[in-house]
Amino acid sequence: MSEESIESADNFPPTQDGYQRLWTPQRMVYVQGQDKPKDTSKKECPFCAAQKKTDEEGLIIWHGTHVFAIMNLYPYNVGHLMICPYRHVGMLVDLDDDELFEFEKATTLAITVMKEVSHPDGWNVGINQGEVAGAGVAGHLHQHVVPRWEGDSNFMPITAGTRTMPILLGKQRDDYAAGFEHLQGDFNLPSRN
């Protein structure tokens, strides 16, 4: 390979490329599968398992007819939650029309709840479908809703291997659950309870 074909790293990432970045190097251990059982066929899906627990134990925030909202046990940021169908399906295309409508409507409800409860400046919303695309639980579809604040990234994860989380997951779950209950009628989303 000639030196001419090697791109210089002096300007990486380019300072004017227009993208914001959510760097999460602390999650590499999770992504690479360290401490995960090698045979996942015997391990129960965490989203299916959460449905068998109390809402507080399972970190479930809200129950719709076809989907539910749950806190992320390995959050990218404070308040990170996920919208999941009750059915154990892995791909967005596996949802029927009623599930798909409620899946996306519940996502907009989640953003509205976060706006009222946590007052973020923005959100990252997304789905990783398949293990190769970064889905930690590839067999059960889930959409991430991650609140973001100006300046929420700092040096702690990089230099100290620590992410500061100013609120406990249980407290965040309780606050969001109250917000979902209060606002779900505005979205014409029935509760399963």
Question: Per-residue pLDDT for the chain (193 aa), expressed as one digit of tens each?
Answer: 555 666 666 666 555 556 556 556 656 666 666 555 455 556 789 999 999 999 999 999 999 999 999 999 888 888 999 999 999 999 999 999 999 999 999 999 999 999 999 999 999 999 999 888 888 899 999 999 999 988 776 544 444 455 556 677 788 888 888 898 888 888 877 777 6
Q: State the residue for tokens 């490329």.
A: 17
Q: Let me know if 139 is exposed, middle or buried by CB neighbors in 10 A (0-12, 13-18, 19+).
A: middle
Report residue 85: phi and psi, to 5°: -75, 155
- Report how far residue 190's alpha carbon sits from residue 193's, in angstroms, rounded to the nearest whole number: 9
What pTM was estimated for this model as a whole? Answer: 0.70
- Structural domains in the chain plus CATH codes: 45-187 (3.30.428.10)
pLDDT of residue 156: 46
Active site residues: 142
